[in-house]
Chains A and B, each alone.
Chain A
Amino acid sequence: MPQLNPEFFVSQLFWLVVTFSFLLVFLWRISLPRISNILEKRERKINEDLTAAKELQSEAENIQDKIEQQLKQARSDASELIKSSSASFQDKAQNEITKLEKELDEKITDSSNKIEKIKNESLNQIQSQINEITKLTLSKVTSFEVTDDEIKNAVQNLERSLN
């Protein structure tokens, strides 16, 4: 078996020491630090990204909360505004209506007073004209001299009997 031939033992040991030492030093000083750097960098990057994502998420949730609060506030504000404005409008309308009614009432009483006055005046006029006409008619048709009082009485009697 060539393995048990000691002829090349020293040579093999020498080259083993040379090659393995070189490999050990090269890997230890150059290759492994490079790979571990890469792995650490990647780990760090992933962690950073994860924390950043978490922060952004909480920020987004805060913003959402704020938006919801603002919406709520806006809704309640709007409903309050509607309530208050409609109440004030109703008040105004009520005031306007009562004012109008008062004015109308005044105008109605005014007019009815005027009408009453005119009616009385006309009635009086009619009365005097009736008297006048009666007096004229009587003086033209007959020769009776009738006084105003007599005519008035007669007319009143007539009216009474008509009524």
Chain B
Amino acid sequence: MAAKGEKHSPLEQFEIIPFTRTEIGGYDISFTNSSLSMIITVAVITLFLTLTVNPRSLVPTRMQLISELMYNFVAQLLSDTVGDNGKKYFPFVFSLFMFVLIGNMVGMVPYQFTFTSHIIVTFALASVVFIGVTILGFVNHGIKFFTFFYIPGVPFYMHPLLIPIEVISYLSRPISLSVRLFANMLAGHTLLKVFAGFVVAMPFFTGALPLVFIVALTGLEILIAFLQAYVFAILTCLYINDAYHLH
């Protein structure tokens, strides 16, 4: 593999290729393959949810049923974790879930760029959640929100140890949330690329073996794509719940 040079690195697929070089006010807003895949993702979601749903139909078609299932899936998720308070955040959680899910799925299409495999994107999404939830906590509880780090029912001499741990774990939420998604996408796509390299590199017949692995791994990656979107959404719900219910 290494003999073939830098050109065929398994990480090459994560390279950002600018289609235009645009700057506004000194900020770079170049339209890249990452931007394209974000736009494709948003287009797929909005078109699907618009075209499959007929507002007058009492009995859904199959495609409409998919839209309704996704709606109910996220609504159920939110009501299970947050309860009635969660209804206001449904559009945000639903958008987040769909954006990550379809972003991951678009990334599974060959030659498509996976924007969720970029730490800056996932970190930005996780930061929105983190900052939003922190503001929500202060709005709901005021200064009392700091009691979130105080765990009741623990011996007093443990607090000097536990409070820093709680603070650190709270502050690391955006990192864990973003790295989880980013690392899963990175690892999955890299693995696929490595096996694809084996197919090419191995002698004539043996190349079929890694191909079988690629087929199996693609299935696994689709599962992970869904799972990571689900995890992202459910953790967002749990954080929202924390902003309402302190310990």
Contacts and interface: CB of A to CB of B under 8 A. Distances in A.
Contacts, number: 124
Interface stretch (B113-121, B210-218, B236-244): B113-121
B42 A38 contact: no
B39 A19 contact: yes
Contacts of A22: 42
Interface string B107-131: 0000000010111110011000000
Given A23-B98, A35-B53, A35-B71, A8 B34 contact: yes
Contacts of B121: 12-13, 16
B95 A11 contact: no
Nearest to B72: A39
Interface residues on A, range: 35 or more
B67 A16 contact: no
A11 B28 contact: yes
Contacts of B150: none
Interface residues on B, range: 35 or more
Interface stretch (B43-51, B163-171, B192-200): B43-51
Contacts of B46: 23, 26-27, 31
A37 interface: yes
Contacts of A3: 14, 117-120, 182, 186
Interface of B: 11, 14-16, 18, 27-32, 34-35, 38-39, 41-42, 45-46, 49-50, 53, 55, 57-58, 60, 64, 67-68, 71-72, 90-92, 94-95, 98-99, 115, 117-121, 124-125, 182, 186
25 contacts: A1-B11, A1-B14, A2-B14, A9-B120, A11-B35, A12-B115, A13-B120, A15-B39, A17-B124, A19-B42, A20-B95, A20-B125, A23-B42, A23-B99, A24-B95, A26-B46, A27-B91, A27-B98, A31-B50, A31-B53, A35-B67, A36-B71, A39-B71, A41-B58, A42-B58
